[in-house]
Amino acid sequence: MLFNSFIFIFIFLPITLIVYFRIGRYGYRSVAIIWLIIASLFFYGWWNPAYLGLILGSILFNYAMSKFINRNINRQSIYVLVFGIAINLGFLGYFKYANFFADNVNSLLATSFHINQIIVPLAISFFTFQQIAYLVDSWRGETGGYKFLHYCLFVTFFPQLIAGPIVRHKETLPQFAKNIVGKLNYENLAVGLSLFILGLFKKVVIADTAVTYVTPFFDIATHGGDLTFVEGWVAALAYTFQLYFDFSGYSDMAIGLARMFGIVLPINFNSPYKAYNIIDFWRMWHITLSDWLRDYIFFPVRRSLLRKYRNTHTYLTLLVPPMITMLVSGLWHGAGWTFVLWGGLHGIYLVINQAWRTINSKLALTSKIPLYFLNNISWLITFLSLIVAWVLFRASTLHSALLILKAMFGFNGIVFSLGGNLSRREVLLFLLSSMFIVKFLPNSIDIMSLYKPVLGKNYTKHKSLIPLSWKPTIIWGLLFVVLALSSLRMMITQGYHEFIYRFF
């Protein structure tokens, strides 16, 4: 079931909300939580009921492991932690990477290992990473006292189950224990519904429109065809904006849905295409995944190197941690060499970025360059680097990615023709308007900043945006009605596409 489907918007969501608040009206908080768990499992099982057993088994196993670790916090508990992580990664590896591994072994060694095609369970990457973090935090002594029902909802809560954010126990579990659970709050409903509408508009009106400019050219490359210079850049730029609005839209809808139920989720998307460098980009794109990778991979690897070499091999701490972290990020996103190379390329970007910061801090190379000029050059270099990397992320094969990059860099000649039935004016208008939105307009969190829609956002920095902030007024209400009707009209006339991050 998709957030951008009629059955979700007009059947599942209203029924879930009505029953939830009816139960909460009589003070049955535990029953309200049970209802949300049941609704969330139904939402998850809508795609494939067969995998309900997997997520339930994962919940039972990890909760039992965490309780055992909590009761035995000593040196021996590290073995239980390692066992728990290994089981989680084992299931993730089997479902997501077994076919990839077998295909590569066969290709490398000329063997004929055969594994029937494995259908990857929905959201397995998300709920696996979320529960691994919980086990590690249990080992650190941070998770004692949480009830099983609350833990079940922590894992299954449908607004963040499919594509994040990857929440930490300290962010949502305390909220499930509050007296506000199940209580109707009209402010929460208004804020949540507004965010949901903003996200729906981004997804079905902007991101799904980009598909018509992305798919034809990537398909040509997949089948070995050559693209012109303009077609290569249209494909890459359109996908850059498609992915942005697709994931931004999902993030808005997720935090909006949670807010309707009175739950505030952590920020997961914060205008990443405004970043002036790659390090800042990863602090603004898929923030909860970036934080997870930083806390549970980057820092442990870096600390291990520092302990081993005692700062005598500083280049290792500069090179190894970001490369390992981003290669893991690439594999997390998908079982394919395009994803591995995408992660490796971002690892190289991060190494270069950090090396430049180190050199510049010592030599002050940019001290005499006007800040405005420097910021614009930094932004342009960052944005172009992202576009190149996104080609690898989207391409179905390495060969097709190289064909698109070859066209973009002029190896097929600088030809300004645009094939197919696409209108040059429409394509240019879409790309320019998308660029204007992502670079110059406030994002959804900024627009809703007066009501603090997410955790982990410094709202004091956005006082200048208060005149543009959402308020429960007739004008804002009419604007959101127009956005909602435009989105529904697009869904009726052109259907709807699945979320890109749904597949990770």
What is the rounded CA–CA span in Å between residue 72 and residue 84? Answer: 14
Q: Which of 150, 333, 346, 462 is catalytic?
A: 333
Cα–Cα nearest to 58, from 147, 137, 129: 129
Q: Is residue 313 among the annotated active site residues?
A: no
What is the rounded CA–CA span in Å between residue 451 and residue 384? Answer: 35
Question: Helices marked H in 266-310 — which ranges?
Answer: 278-281, 287-293, 299-309
Measured CA to CA in angstroms, residue 6 lies from 29, 459, 493, 494 at distances of 29, 34, 13, 13
Looking at the DSSP bridge assignments, the partners of residue 266 are 455
Amino acid at position 63, single letter: Y
Question: Helices marked H in 9-116 — which ranges?
Answer: 13-25, 29-45, 52-71, 77-109
Looking at the DSSP bridge assignments, the partners of residue 494 are none
What is the rounded CA–CA span in Å between residue 344 and residue 260? Answer: 39
3-state secondary structure of 217: helix
Q: Extract the runs of DSSP E, i.e. beta strands, from 420-464.
A: none
Measured CA to CA in angstroms, residue 153 lies from 120, 127, 289, 473 at distances of 22, 12, 20, 34
Q: Which residue has the tokens 């050559």?
A: 226
Please name the helix (run of DSSP H) or strand (run of DSSP E) that holds residue 443, with its range, or none. none
Active site residue ranges: 333
